[in-house]
């Protein structure tokens, strides 16, 4: 989820301008700000509250809800590169919301599955790996694909990558 979120948050404004020929920079900045700041934050808050409501991070329902959010975010990302401006904004909103809602659940499941003396180290390592593999490569990979094939194929390739996360999340839910 961090990979696709990174694509939308790093390249979203440029993609809107290039792919939809939107010339109004203020509108792009407003839409982009709403999408990249408020929506994931709302998702994190709702995901955290829902996680607490269903019994906390150690509940088997938490992993199931996390898988549902992951699947919903991946399906919302599926048409992102194929639609016009308004549907793009709706799909990006849905993706960022469900990916944000999944974040506290995933983090809680990972941390709560460890003995308490390892949780601090595990949290640090997890954040390092998320930044290294989830936040660093998206801008670079999108840029390479975009230079060679254009922004639409780059957006399609990078957002559809989120289905790989669905596979791993479902496997983790089954084995939990």
More confident residue, 42 or 127: 42
| Average pLDDT over all residues of the chain | 86
Given a cut of 80, whether residue 20 has pLDDT beyond it is: yes
**Angle at the Cα of 32 from the Cα atoms of 30 and 33, rounded to 5 degrees:** 65
Given pLDDT bands bounded at 50, 70 and 90, which one contains residue 69? very high
Given pLDDT bands bounded at 50, 70 and 90, which one contains residue 120? confident
Q: How many CA atoms lie within 13 A of 97 on its CB side?
A: 13
Given a cut of 80, whether residue 55 has pLDDT beyond it is: yes
**Secondary structure of residue 78 in the 3-state scheme:** coil
Q: How many CB atoms lie under 10 A from the CB of residue 58?
A: 12
Query: Nearest-CA neighbor of 95 among 122, 67, 76?
Result: 76
Contacts (Cβ under 8 Å, ≥6 apart) of 122: 110, 111, 114
Mean pLDDT of 12-24: 84
More confident residue, 88 or 135: 88
Given a cut of 80, whether residue 144 has pLDDT beyond it is: yes
Per-residue pLDDT, 142: 87
């Amino acid at each position: 989820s961090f990979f696709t979120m990174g694509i939308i948050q790093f390249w979203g404004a440029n993609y809107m301008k290039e792919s939809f020929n939107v010339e109004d920079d203020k509108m792009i900045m407003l839409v982009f700000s709403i999408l990249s700041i408020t929506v994931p934050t709302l998702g994190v808050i709702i995901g955290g509250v829902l996680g607490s409501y269903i019994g906390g991070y150690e509940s088997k329902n938490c992993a199931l809800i996390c898988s549902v959010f992951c699947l919903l975010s991946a399906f919302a990302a599926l048409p992102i590169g194929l639609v016009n401006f308004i549907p793009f904004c709706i799909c990006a909103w849905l993706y960022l919301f469900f990916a944000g809602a999944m974040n506290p659940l995933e983090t809680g499941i990972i941390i709560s599955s460890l003995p308490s003396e390892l949780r601090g180290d595990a949290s640090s390592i997890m954040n390092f790996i998320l930044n290294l593999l989830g936040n660093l490569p998206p801008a670079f990979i999108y840029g390479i694909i975009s230079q060679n094939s254009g922004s639409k194929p780059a957006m399609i390739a990078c957002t559809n990558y989120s289905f790989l996360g669905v596979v791993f999340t479902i496997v983790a839910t089954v084995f939990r």
